[in-house]
Structure 1
Amino acid sequence: MRRLIPLLLLLTAMPATAQVSSSDRPPTPPPMPTPQGDVLYACPGGMDFSATFANDGELVTLRMPGQPAIELSRQVSGSGFAFSDSYYELRGRGREATLTAAGRSMRCHAAGRPGEPPRTFAGGSVTVTLFPDGSFRLREKRDGAAEPLLDIGQWAQEVEGGIRLVLRGANNSRRAFREIGDKLVDDNGGELLRTDKPDPIDGKFRLAGMYRDAQDGGLFTACLVGRTYGVAPGGAEPELEKAWVEATPSREASLYAEIIGGFDNNNSITVDRFLSLKRDGTCSARVSRGSALRDTEWRLIELDGARPSFDEWRRRPLMRLDNADKFTASTGCNTMGGDFVLDPDGLRFVAGPMTLMACPPTEAAIEKSFVAALAAVRTAQISGTTLDLIDGTGKRRMRLEARGR
């Protein structure tokens, strides 16, 4: 294990007005990316929705259960991205976003790994494919069964001490793994190895969701996934559409439907059997998914039990962790960087270069506490858009929130 370097020692090693040389400056993090393609946004305490970014990022289409599609045009934004019309506004930075309607706002974050290809892991009787929108499909061969068990749901990385990749599927099932290189390891030591090619896991799934007919075809929001799919023509699709037309109170209403179906090469749902449609049915509430630890800009809201106040919000300390196990931070006065270690034992920060500019007394005191607290961190917990950093005694040293705008 790498030795931890107390960050406070770096602060006292040089005169307060000195700066590190340009070759030793903390790394400048790359700009927060603008979303591309299809992104599923998880909104703790609110309704998840999907967003399709098109026309080179000039247009975004939002889809949420029971609502018609919403198209927003890109607006000028000093930092991050912004889309709006006369009623809705979507603003964000990187993975975090804030959706506002009629003055009411909802904090959300991108689920999965938007922009990356699907990843398939297999071992023993289980094959699981993780899609970049935060959904998964699973196939499990069972002794004595003619057909394998198929499951579909949501995956997320959850931080409780160490980090776990958690799959939540039908009947509130939960499977948790440690992700180690190109394999997933469960708590019993069972391993799933990443395959060379992704497996879409074709088959017939029992799906429940909110369905409505639209001008260019049906839309189906699968309850277990929280994503809206187009419905492919053919099969039992005309039967589903007919039932909706006879039952719907309006052309914009989505009704609860149950089907047996699969997915085609365009990632649209195919309807093999229509089972039922209910005017008063709805999807069960899903477990809220927290913000991703990595590639999220975290903003300090509590330090050693106190909530620091700032005359200028831009002076509030920030921190960001990337996929290369590097972190960058602003203390409110200076900037710093280094490595972090995240394993089943917890989370630890290893100091790297730091600028050493003189700070006003208030900012200097906050910086001193921030640096000392970061060096003491041993575990982390994420709940929704809140990150708690905890030391070896169990004391919460920092509370940060995902910065959405």
Structure 2
Amino acid sequence: MPLWLGACSLWPYHSAPAPIPNLPATWSGDVTCPGCVPHQQTLTLFADGSFHLRDEYPANQRRRGRESFYDIGQWSRLSGDESRLILRGGSETLRQFRLQHGGELRQLDASGADIRSIRDYVLTREKGLDPVAGPMRLLGKLSVDDTQLRFSECLTGREMTVIDGLPASVIKQYRVAQKLVNETGSAPVLASVIGVFSARLATSDEGSENASVWQVTVPRVLRFWPGEDCGIGAAAPSLPLRDTPWRVLAIANEPIKADPMAATLALRLHDDGKVSGHTGCNILRSQYRSDDSALNFDAVMITRRACMNPMAQALETTWIEVLRRTTAYRVVGSYLELLAGDRVLARLIANEMH
């Protein structure tokens, strides 16, 4: 019996830390993988079970300006392992963190295991609050009545008042979208918008005093989808090709294996005709031409950082060849396919929810 009890003590075990106090709260830290471009992550958890997350890549000699990518959604603690936090947002896989007894959050891999690396991948709790307000792309139901504008965001389920109004031209588009599905009045229509979050204290006639009331400013409405609902992934309305950050899932039907030690293969087509991205080893730059479903990449160039291993080198070479061979594209929901004729060269997913 003593031997059996001693053996049990060797099993990995994570005792549950105390509940997270004083939410909302912000954690941030350097999560740059070895040999990768600098990567700062900021995560804010709210008491209503929602989260805002920002991945930030600072400007440097090789990067054209600072780039920020956002994710929002809902968080929870894993039943049976209260130390583990599960974040369900707009990215393809769950994000997972372990709450440590010192109050830090340790980033975990896709399976929920600790990342084996010379890096700690730890986010430290900040003294102040960063609401990670945006501006960011949001998908939700927009409704208009005589007294106010409302927006119900898909990933958090958050009901918000739209402050600062909307242009008359956008209200006209909203009415046209309603008519296409025989709706009138304040019936909601799914919309993709650029939004900036804010909050204020509730008044006495809004329920609990001193509670937070979410608001959103909408400087731009990107598109209406009449008759559509809050589908996620392939079921979602198709995202725009341009200015959407894409991450490579598979090349020639071969899935890209997740490697926490390496940067992901990425692509972004900017409105000015320029392309930014990453090969897993190097920063990528190019230009593109697009017309309807046609797509061509010109002058594909990369920086000259050496890849860490032969597999990464081979993947970089294959990814560049995919871009050079691309002649067409197809967007389905949150997914992008790069094509050569009818042949799928690569599949990508939006790296943030839109």
TM class by smaller structure: 0.3 to 0.5
TM-score, normalised with respect to structure 1: 0.41
TM-score, normalised with respect to structure 2: 0.46
Which gives a bigger RCO, structure 1 or 2 (Cα 8 Å, sep 6+)?
Answer: 1
The higher radius of gyration belongs to: 1
